[in-house]
Amino acid sequence: MSDDVLEKATIELRASINAAHAKFAVQVAELERRDIPAAYHGLTMAAWLRHHCRMDSTEASGTAKTARTLKHMPTVVTEAVNGRVPYRSVQLLAQARDRNPDAFVSHEPVFADVSTYLTSRDLRKGISHWEQQVHYQQALKDVHDVDRLRSLHLAQTYQGIGEIRGTLNPELFHTITTAVDAHTDPTFLDASDRRTPTQRRADALGDICRYFLDHNDTIRTSGGEKPHITVTIDHDLLTGGREGLAELGDAPVDPETIRRLSCDASIVRMVLDQDSMPIDVGRRTRTIPPALRRALDYRDQGCVWKGCTAPVSWCDAHHVIHWAQGGETTLDNLILLCRTHHTRIHKLHPHDNPRNYLRDTRAKHETRPPDT
Segment 111-133 mean pLDDT: 92
DSSP 8-state assignment for residue 369: P
DSSP 8-state assignment for residue 187: G
Q: Does the structure show a pLDDT above 90 at 104? A: yes
Which of the four pLDDT bands, split at 50, 70 and 90, describes residue 183? confident
pLDDT at 315: 87
Separation of alpha carbons 349 and 311, rounded Å: 26
Radius of gyration for the alpha carbons in the chain, expressed in angstroms and rounded: 29
pLDDT at 279: 55
Separation of alpha carbons 165 and 173, rounded Å: 13
Which of the four pLDDT bands, split at 50, 70 and 90, describes residue 290? confident
Segment 26-49 mean pLDDT: 96
Spatial CA neighbour of 228 closest among 188, 282, 254, 265: 265
Q: Return the higher-pLDDT residue of 236 and 293.
A: 293
Helix axes 170-183, 197-215, angle to 10 degrees: 100
Segment 45-74 mean pLDDT: 95
DSSP 8-state assignment for residue 38: H
Segment 147-157 mean pLDDT: 87
Which of the four pLDDT bands, split at 50, 70 and 90, describes residue 261? confident
Q: Return the higher-pLDDT residue of 1 and 268.
A: 1
Q: Indicate the average pLDDT of the chain.
A: 83
Q: Does the structure show a pLDDT above 50 at 367? A: no
pLDDT at 123: 95
Element (H, E) at 248: strand 246-248
Query: Hey, what long-range contacts does 30-38 have (CB within 8 A, 24 or more apart)?
Result: 32/64, 32/67, 32/68
Q: Return the higher-pLDDT residue of 23 and 136.
A: 23
Which of the four pLDDT bands, split at 50, 70 and 90, describes residue 223? very low
Instruction: Point out which residues pair with 280 in neighbouring strands.
Output: 271
Percent of the chain predicted with pLDDT > 90 = 37
Q: Does the structure show a pLDDT above 60 at 215? A: yes
Which of the four pLDDT bands, split at 50, 70 and 90, describes residue 273? low
Which of the four pLDDT bands, split at 50, 70 and 90, describes residue 274? low
pLDDT at 366: 47
> Domain residue spans in the chain?
3-148, 168-215
- Report which listed range, 88-97, 122-131, 241-250, is most confident: 88-97
Q: How many CB atoms lie within 10 A of CB 171?
A: 10
Separation of alpha carbons 197 and 218, rounded Å: 33
Segment 315-334 mean pLDDT: 85
- Which residues have CB under 8 Å from 230's CB, separation 6+? 249
Is residue 66 within 8 Å of residue 90, measured between CB atoms? yes
Spatial CA neighbour of 353 closest among 314, 310, 306, 297: 306
Is residue 248 within 8 Å of residue 257, measured between CB atoms? yes
Angle at 255 between CA 251 and CA 256, to 5 degrees: 125
Q: Does the structure show a pLDDT above 70 at 77? A: yes
Q: Return the higher-pLDDT residue of 309 and 13.
A: 13
Which of the four pLDDT bands, split at 50, 70 and 90, describes residue 270? low
Instruction: Point out which residues pair with 163 in neighbouring strands.
Output: 155
Segment 327-337 mean pLDDT: 88
Is residue 131 within 8 Å of residue 142, measured between CB atoms? yes
3-state SS, residue 349: coil
Which of the four pLDDT bands, split at 50, 70 and 90, describes residue 213? confident
Q: Indicate the range of 33-42, 229-238, 269-278 predicted with least confidence.
A: 269-278
